Chains A and B, each alone.
Chain A
Amino acid sequence: MAVLNEEQSMIRDGAKSWVQEKSPVTAFRKLRDSGNADGFDRAAWKEMAEMGWAGILIPEEFGGTGLGYLTLGLVLEETGRTLTASPLISTALTATTALLLAGSDAQKQKYLPAIAEGKLIATLAVDEGPHHHPEKIALAGSASGGKVKLNGKKTFVLDGGTADLVIVAARTSGKPGEKGGITLVLVDGKASGLSREKLKTVDSRGYANLTFKDVEGEVLGTVDQGAGVLETTLDRARIGLTAEMLGQAAQSFEITLEYLKTREQFGQKIGTFQALQHRAAKMFTDLELGRSCVEGALAAIDRDANDVAQLASLAKAKVGDLVHTVSNEMVQMHGGIGMTDAHDAGLYLKRARAQEATFGGSSYHRDRYATLLGY
């Protein structure tokens, strides 16, 4: 565990107890079973914002606390433990990062205080097909005088069905595959010409496919020069997401460990069988390695280190593999009970696969890591 200052410890402890009391897995299950179309609980989000979580990255001058990524990571780890689905990832982490990196003072003033207050849901729309390929952006944008007209589609946008503000990565010049020619565009969630198709996904989070038909938006940052900001935003989002994944892996591991210590077969605890012991030991080892990647990467953003991109890909690949394994083992080691919908194992498994795919899977990030290191 990272060495925390007093403020960070308080926030983490506060998050731990709020999550346990107000947002246990049963709350997520209830949300899922209620057929909630938003993919998160608005009342819970209000409470999260009141505790300051929506504004952890936002400087005080814009209504936040400016505590940074490691602190937000501590909260995400706790919410990840209970599968809490909230706009923390889409709004407080990803969209906020883009606004902080590229927003004009006026734009920051317009959006950041509202985000910090929990009144504005925002998201970043990048992908256009089944896989994460920011370098292949094709959605057409024609820019003139600070405005951009958008035509095309975005897929699997997190909280895309509810977002009041969608930050769209558009191609304003050049061809898909080229680095230049990307522009970030601020689009009102209710803009005319924008249609949103909410998706019912395996992990019951609020994703949507968005279609743009002559939708007008406002430039965020510089026309044609958005690729750099986009990449930095994505790296920070990836790292924040791995904090959530880490909490989730840790929790599913602990639940499984507890089961190994209670379930009896052949007159003994199943945890006494070496076949299971060694796998538990291996998972524990990988959890520790994964934690180092996540905390190292979060701290690197806060220090503005020059290897954040590498650390982002490292963490996303390692922790992606970690949640993959741990979620599978959770089902397997619980036996029949782990296969039932009434047990939580399936919920962890389903969420894990969605996170693995979000912002690039392990293959994508292994390849990117090698490229970044020059081989």
Chain B
Amino acid sequence: MSAAANADPQLEAFRLEARKWLEENFPKSLVGKAGMMMGEEAASRNADFDKWKKAMGDKGWGTPTWPKQYGAGGLSTAQARVLQQEMGKIGAWNPIGGMGVMMFGPTLLEYGSEEQKKKHVPGIVKGEVWWCQGYSEPGAGSDLASLRTQCIDKGDHYLVNGQKIWTSGAQYADMCFALVRTDNTKKHEGISFLLIDMKSPGVEVRPIKLISGNSPFCETFFTDVKVPKENLMGPLNGGWTIGKRLLQFERQGLGGGIGGGGLNRGGETRTIDQVAKAYAGANDNGQVADADLRMRITNHMMDARAFMLTVQRAMSEAKGNAGPSATTSIMKNAGSRIGQERAELLVEVMGHQGLGWEGEGFTRDELDTVRGWLGGKATTIYGGSQEIQNNIIAKRILGLLDHQ
């Protein structure tokens, strides 16, 4: 594999450096294990994982483009891409993840004070501090700004009372970035962005079980929780802008990335045409035998291809750009829809074998596919539902406003 003729020599030098470092530090035993070991509740981690995480955390390459002064990689986007390519070649994967990396960190870098960045970025970079997102409340979902969790200024600290819901990973989190109400007389302008230590007295989490059988999220209760003043990020009553910015990062991650909206959610990793031939049969020409199924599979595979091309186009267009734009809404809706369609097709193609819950008679992959299909239904609900994304596209991008 020779580098392109017009390759930038500095970049090629970095490539060699990255290749060497990865060779030395990535344990071969971890190839293909990302799915098993990532996620805050993963029980399958081992010494190799710990070693790899420490190496990447110390190097700062888990958050490659964040500034070096907080321990992160400090790489250019071009270098980061090279790093990713080199990791891909040997099956290495990023052990540093979670909401801290995907959503909170980028927002903190933009809106946090210098002290806040110094205090909170390194923990994310090293993968030592898990963050959860305290946004939604029972009465405030799509209409997030109607949130009511009270935050009162007590002079030397804030006092927080209220309830959050659907807080992913709250049972494992060290810290929570939350939207709280600091002014009852205004809607959007009465919201502040607060960082809450999950070990504070008065924080209680109750896991909620999903239709897929696992409990990745919680109800989170705050009862007279004292929060230090320095944990207010941005101005008092200025949290909405920050909170929305964070949502853009979230949606961007969900749409283009390997996250919830990604195309594959565990279980079967083969392409659907292969799965269809295995379960539903092929004709003498080696085609999926069922003509109707074959066309629907084709439709899905074309959608998936178009989506991947869009991801690539967005990435190259974003080179000169700073951060995510409003078009991230398109990615989230397209990605989550296509991911759900894949899961539905997989379950259908597997027939009876795609209807197992547990126990005998089904393979691990079959059971994981079913659980993934169910869990994936959330991708059009969280991070701004499909309907809310469509409203954003219609109003902000297409200019179809309510009152014209």
* A-to-B contact residues, CB < 8 Å: 127, 129-132, 155-156, 197, 199-204, 207, 209, 264-267, 270, 273, 275-276, 328, 331-332, 335-336, 338-342, 345-346, 349-350, 353-354, 356-357, 361-364, 366-367
Closest to B370 in A: A202
Nearest 6 Cβ contacts at the A-B interface:
A346-B211, A130-B351, A156-B352, A265-B143, A363-B292, A341-B209
| B166 part of interface (Cβ distance < 8 Å) | yes
CB distance from B297 to the nearest CB of A (A): 10
B328 CB–A CB distance under 8 Å: no
In the docked arrangement, what's the CA distance between A292 and B385, Å? 34
Contact A335/B142 with A127-B352, A204-B357 known, Cβ cut-off 8 Å? yes
User: Complex: how many Å from CA A155 to CA B351?
Assistant: 11
- What string of 1s and 0s marks CB contacts (under 8 Å) between B352-381 and chain A? 111111111110000000100010011011
Segment at the interface with A among B112-120, B150-158, B386-394? B386-394
Q: Fill in one digit per residue for B200-216: 1 if any A CB lies within 8 Å of its CB, else 0.
A: 00000000111101000
Tell me how far the C-beta of A296 lies from the nearest C-beta in chain B, rounded to whole angstroms.
Answer: 23
Residues in A whose Cβ lies below 8 Å from that of B348: 353, 356-357, 361
Cα–Cα, bound, A207→B141 (Å): 39
How many positions in chain B have a CB within 8 Å of any CB in the partner chain? 48
A355 to chain B, nearest CB (A): 10
Contact B141 A339 (CB under 8 A): no
In the assembled complex, the CB of B371 is this many whole angstroms from the nearest CB of chain A, namely: 9
Residues of B within 8 A of A266 (CB): 142-143, 146
Contact, CB under 8 Å: A345 / B211: yes
Give residues 246-288 of B contacting A (CB, 8 Å).
279-281
Q: Is the CB of B280 within 8 A of A357?
A: no
| Bound Cα distance A202, B352 (Å) | 10
Q: Mark B136-178, 1 if CB is under 8 A from A, else 0.
A: 1001011100100000000000000000011000000000000
A selection of 26 A-B contacts at a CB cut-off of 8 Å is: A130-B353, A132-B351, A199-B359, A199-B362, A200-B359, A202-B355, A202-B374, A204-B357, A275-B387, A331-B377, A331-B381, A332-B386, A336-B141, A336-B382, A338-B377, A339-B378, A340-B208, A340-B209, A342-B209, A345-B211, A349-B211, A354-B355, A357-B348, A357-B352, A361-B351, A366-B292
How distant is the Cα of A38 from the Cα of B296 in the complex, in angstroms? 36
Which partner residue on chain A sits nearest B361 by CB separation? A199
Closest Cβ–Cβ distance, residue B367 to chain A (whole Å): 10
Task: Give bound CA distance, A199 to B366, whole Å.
Answer: 13
B357 touches A200 (CB 8 A): yes
In angstroms, Cα B291 to Cα A336, docked, is 36
Chain A residues with Cβ below 8 Å from B377 are 328, 331-332, 338-339, 349
B358 touches A200 (CB 8 A): yes
Indicate if the CB atoms of B136 and A336 lie closer than 8 Å. yes
Taking the closest CB of chain B, its distance from the CB of A268, in whole angstroms, is 9
Q: With a CB–CB cut-off of 8 A, which chain A residues contact B354?
A: 130, 353, 357
Nearest CB in chain B: distance from A262 CB, A: 12
B30 interface residue per 8 A CB criterion:
no
> Are B141 and A276 in contact, CB atoms less than 8 angstroms apart?
no
Closest A residue, CB atoms, query B359: A200
Question: What is the bound-complex CA distance between A364 and B296, given in angstroms?
Answer: 13
Closest to B166 in A: A336
How far, in Å, is A287 (CB) from chain B's closest CB? 21
B311 within 8 A of A: no
Knowing A265-B142, A276-B387, A367-B291 are in contact, say whether A202-B356 is a contact too (CB < 8 A).
yes
Given contacts A199-B360, A335-B141, A363-B293, 20 further A-B contacts (CB under 8 A): A127-B352, A156-B352, A199-B361, A201-B355, A204-B357, A267-B143, A275-B390, A331-B381, A336-B378, A338-B377, A339-B381, A340-B211, A341-B209, A341-B210, A342-B208, A353-B347, A353-B348, A357-B354, A357-B355, A363-B292
Chain B residues close to A by CB (< 8 Å): 136, 139, 141-143, 146, 165-166, 208-211, 213, 279-281, 290-293, 296, 347-348, 350-362, 370, 374, 377-378, 380-382, 385-387, 390-391
Given A266-B143, A340-B210: A332 and B352 interface contact (C-beta under 8 Å):
no
Nearest CB of chain A from residue B192's CB, rounded to whole Å: 21
CA distance A208 to B388 in the complex (A): 43
Roughly how many angstroms separate A202 CA and B212 CA in the complex, as a whole number?
Answer: 9
B361 touches A339 (CB 8 A): no
Residues of the B chain whose Cβ atoms lie less than 8 Å from the Cβ of A265: 141-143, 146
Note all chain A residues with C-beta closer than 8 A to B351.
129-132, 357, 361
User: Which of B165, B348, B350 has the most CB atoms of chain A within a 10 A radius of its CB?
Assistant: B348
Q: Is the CB of B280 within 8 A of A130?
A: yes
Residue of A nearest to B391 (CB): A275
Report yes or no: A273 in contact with B374, Cβ–Cβ below 8 A. no
Q: Which of B136, B293, B380 contacts A332 (CB 8 A)?
A: B380
- Contact of B279 with A130 in the complex, beta carbons under 8 Å: yes
**Chain B residue contacts of A362, Cβ below 8 A:** 292
CB distance from B137 to the nearest CB of A (A): 11
Complexed CA–CA distance, A199 and B351 (Å): 14
Measured between alpha carbons, how far is A132 from B357 in the docked complex, in Å?
20
Chain A residues within an 8 Å CB radius of B280: 130-131
- Contact call A363/B142, Cβ cutoff below 8 A: no
B contact residues around A267 at 8 Å (CB): 143, 146
Query: A127 contacts which chain B residues (CB < 8 A)?
Result: 352
* Docked-complex contact B356 and A201, CB < 8 angstroms: yes
Q: Residue on B with the closest CB to A199?
A: B361
List, in ascending order, chain B residues with CB within 8 A of A129's CB: 351-352
Contacts of A345 in B (CB 8 A): 211
Contacts of A363 in B (CB 8 A): 290, 292-293, 296
CB-nearest residue of chain B to A333:
B387
A131 to B289, alpha carbons, bound, how many Å?
A: 12
Which B residues are CB-close (under 8 A) to A130? 279-280, 350-354
Residue from A156, A207, A332, A342 in contact with B381 in the complex, judged by beta carbons closer than 8 Å: A332
Q: Name the residue of chain B whose CB is nearest to the CB of A340.
A: B208
Complex partner residue of A341 from B211, B347, B370, CB under 8 angstroms: B211
Q: Check if B211 sits within 8 Å of A131, measured CB to CB.
A: no
- The CA-CA distance from A127 to B352 in the complex, in Å, is 10
- In the bound complex, what is the Cα–Cα distance between A266 and B208 (angstroms)? 25
Cβ–Cβ < 8 Å partners of A356 in chain B: 348
Residues of B within 8 A of A156 (CB): 352, 355
How many whole Å from B113's CB to the nearest CB in chain A? 33
B166 & A346 in contact (Cβ 8 Å cutoff): no
Chain B positions within 8 Å of A331 at CB level: 211, 377, 381
Residues of A within 8 A of B370 (CB): 202
Task: Give the complex CA separation of A350 and B360 in angstroms.
Answer: 19
B296 surroundings in chain A (CB, below 8 A): 363
Chain B residues, CB < 8 A from A201: 355-357
A207, A273, A339: which has the most chain B beta carbons within 10 Å? Answer: A339
